Amino acid sequence: MNEFRQAPIEDLEQIQLLALRLFEQESSRPSKNPVADGRQSVVEAFKSLDIPSEYLDRATAIIADRRIKRSASERGILAARRALRARLLISSFVLCLLMAFGMGVKAIYARYRSSVETVRLVEAAQLNDLDGVQLALKRGAAVNGRCRIDYRNESVSAAEEAVRLHNRRIVRELLKQGANPNTSDEYGEISLLMRASQSGDTEIVTMLLSNGASVNAKSKGESISTPSESWWRGDDVTYKTKRTALMYAAESGCESAVRLLVGQGADVNLMDGEQNTALSLATKRLPAENYSKIVAILRAAGAER
């Protein structure tokens, strides 16, 4: 307040500046209503110094103007802060969307890459190309994946093709990489074990069984083979319903496969959808020598009919 005493009474501008400075000092202190307290301090200072009322009115008007400007400034700051928060929220949301979209793109690309490599895997198996099989698997091919072969009009897996072509090295590699030993064809008509047993490939039969193939699993589909189809199937098989690998081996006259399957616990008395057993299927082919041996093996194992 001494600054007011030192200022010339006629120096309106100086008084106004001093009033504003006092207002700023008082209103900046902790208080429930710092603006009102600051204004009250200026009024009291003017009165104690007997400053004419016109100066007080002028100083009050300036303080009110400063108060309005300060409020506007504070509102501007608050608005700027709200806008910044909104931008941050929007930016975070957009960032999350971009991350999710990026992950989606990666997943789509990974799926696309896997499907492409799966086609290459099946093609390599068809060509007996072990190196091609290994490369496709290394690049992300689905070991149990299937793809449709146009000229055959069916979806096949690499393991099916390898078993059909008796490529033991590729079958071993696929099983090593996690191929399902119980895989069946597209229609569930014949499994890997059934096909290998039917052709008498005991080495592949052994590999499949040692990797968990079910020895008593039955086929599910109806018979669909026709003579015109046998050229691409690689055999003259008519696929029956509910047949086991043992039934296929017995009907095909594959003595070694029958012996191996019986030794691995194959049920000799199971019946297919036409009430045939492995024994009845083999008996129908008598008196061929290999069927006589198969009948003897089955009867020795407890076959009843």
246, pLDDT greater than 50: yes
Over 60: is that where the pLDDT of 205 sits?
yes
Residue scoring higher pLDDT (65 or 147): 147
Q: Which residue has the higher pLDDT, 98 or 208?
A: 208
Any idea where the domains of the chain sit in the sequence?
Answer: 2-92, 181-305
Written out in words, the top-level CATH class of the domain with range 181-305 is mainly alpha
Alpha-carbon span 119 to 115, nearest angstrom: 6
> Which residues does 70 contact at the CB level (< 8 Å), separation at least 6?
35
Most confident of the following: 55-59, 237-241, 263-267: 263-267
Residue with tokens 């041996």: 293
Please state the pTM of the whole predicted model. 0.61
- What does the alpha-carbon distance between residue 128 and residue 178 come to, in Å, rounded to a whole number? 19
Contacts of 119 (CB under 8 A, 6+ apart): 147
Work out the angle at residue 156's Cα, subtended by the Cα atoms of residues 154 and 157, and round it to the nearest 5 degrees. 170
Distance CA 285, CA 281 (A): 7
Is 297 in contact with 255 (CB distance < 8 Å)? yes
- Full 3-state SS string of 187-222: CCCCEHHHHHHHHCCHHHHHHHHHCCCCCCCCCCCC
Q: What is the model's pLDDT at position 229?
A: 45
Least confident of 41-45, 118-122, 205-209: 41-45
User: Could you tell me if residue 239 is left (phi over 0), alpha (psi between -120 and 50 degrees) or otherwise beta?
Assistant: beta
SS3 at position 305: coil
Question: Average pLDDT, whole number, for the chain?
Answer: 76
